[in-house]
Chains A and B, each alone.
Chain A
Amino acid sequence: MSRDPLEILASLNPVARLAESLSSDDAMLATIIASVPPTTVLSRRRRRGVWAALGTTVVVLGVAAFAILRQESPANPTRIVCFTDASVPPSGMHALDVSNDPVEACGVLWSNGVIASGEPPALTACVTNEGTIAVIPGDQQVCAQLGFANWVGAFSDDERRIVEFQTAVTEWFGTQCVPQGDALPQAEQFVADFDLDGWTVTDSGHWGVDRPCAASGVDPVTKTVNVGGRRRSAADNTPTT
């Protein structure tokens, strides 16, 4: 009986040598993010509605848990991630628009069967070591079990302003072709309009004949707005809402 060809091939497996990270990967990641415009944006009006409707409930929940668990505010209030299980890294994740009630927002994905079928499990909002809110299946202890802090339960005015700022910048650069010469001054004007202290605007490059339009990336952790070249998009020149 001969040896299975698949076994022979498996024994010659080159994947470990072929699969490698390179020092240039971070540059590639930055290029990708800067070169492709955001595709969907939550309107500012809609976001404000969510804040107004759900704010009080979340504040109460946050205060109730404060005395028991280590709680933190997110360094980056603009993102919510729904974990599919209580592990790091999780087996799956979903990113959402920021919502005044991250647990409810992720719960909707569970209820709709996007994450899993059946009733949503108990969910808890944590703050990861990267400063992002992660909603994780489990009780209030699950954050500490994973080395995270519990979320304080409400967004501050400053955090809300950052979210509004990100939305505005994203809408502006994502729905029209802003040329390189105008991009940085306009981004700096957004920073001034939102009265953000300590924020800087940087040119991440990648401009070219085939990348004549500005793309933006807002990083609340480093307080930086990155502006770089991207290709023209079908979404360009559509009216902002």
Chain B
Amino acid sequence: MTSVTADDRTSLFGVLFREFVPAVRGFVRTLVAESDVDSVVQATFETAWIRFDSIPLLSQRAWLFGVARNHVRNHVRSGRRRVLLVDAIGVSLSGEEASMFAGELDGVEIAPLLAALNQMTNDERELIQLLAWYEMEPSEIAVVLGISQNTARVRVHRARKKLSALMGDESLGEVAP
């Protein structure tokens, strides 16, 4: 029986790194200030390099997000993250869109959504972000957050329900856990 060695992993790790470093960088940018992004991304892949054998084959992105999230929690003041999710949304808007940021986009009121997000906890916002932006299933969210799939389903249900309630429409959160 063979075993994995660090040196034998080099080529494969390079494949993993190049495939996922953009996604991890994007994810980290929604969590920390730009000045901290590189250090968190590097720390994330250093962990991946050390624990290469442990990365689940079919959940590599979620696993890396989970590691990045842990590094953020360890090294970045949580208070900074509250604003950054809103900043991240701002990044997606440019020109005329930006001028509409506080008003409407495609006829939709954005301000209530931002206000609702700001009333949620960091964990809840991260969960909403994983759902909306990365289209993750509860099984993947479980990997990111380091929780069971059942717990992830429950938290997804609660977060959706809370977001909808904060926006004044309880019916939108009524999705079966």
Residues of A within 8 A of B (CB): 1-6, 8-22, 24-25, 28-29, 31-33, 35-42, 50, 76, 78-81, 84, 89, 91-99, 105, 108, 115, 130, 132, 166, 170, 174, 216-219
Question: Distance (Å) between the CB of A125 and the closest chain B CB?
Answer: 14
Quick check: A20 and B22 within 8 Å, CB to CB?
Answer: yes
Docked pose: A218 CA to B131 CA in angstroms: 41
Residues of B within 8 A of A76 (CB): 11
The answer for the CA separation of A115 and B18 in the assembled complex, in Å, is 23
Given contacts A11-B106, A93-B57, A217-B7, 18 further A-B contacts (CB under 8 A): A4-B164, A4-B172, A6-B128, A14-B90, A18-B29, A19-B23, A36-B46, A40-B4, A41-B6, A78-B8, A91-B58, A92-B60, A95-B4, A96-B3, A96-B4, A105-B2, A166-B7, A216-B7
Selected from B2, B14, B113, the residue in CB contact (under 8 A) with A8 is: B113
What residues on B are CB-neighbors of A12 within 8 Å?
A: 89, 92-93, 105, 110
Q: List 12 A-B contacts (CB under 8 A).
A: A3-B108, A14-B88, A28-B41, A36-B46, A38-B6, A41-B6, A79-B9, A92-B57, A92-B58, A99-B2, A170-B6, A218-B7
A166, B29: Cα distance in complex, Å: 38
Inter-chain contact A97/B5, CB cutoff 8 Å:
yes
Does B169 touch A at the CB level, under 8 Å? yes
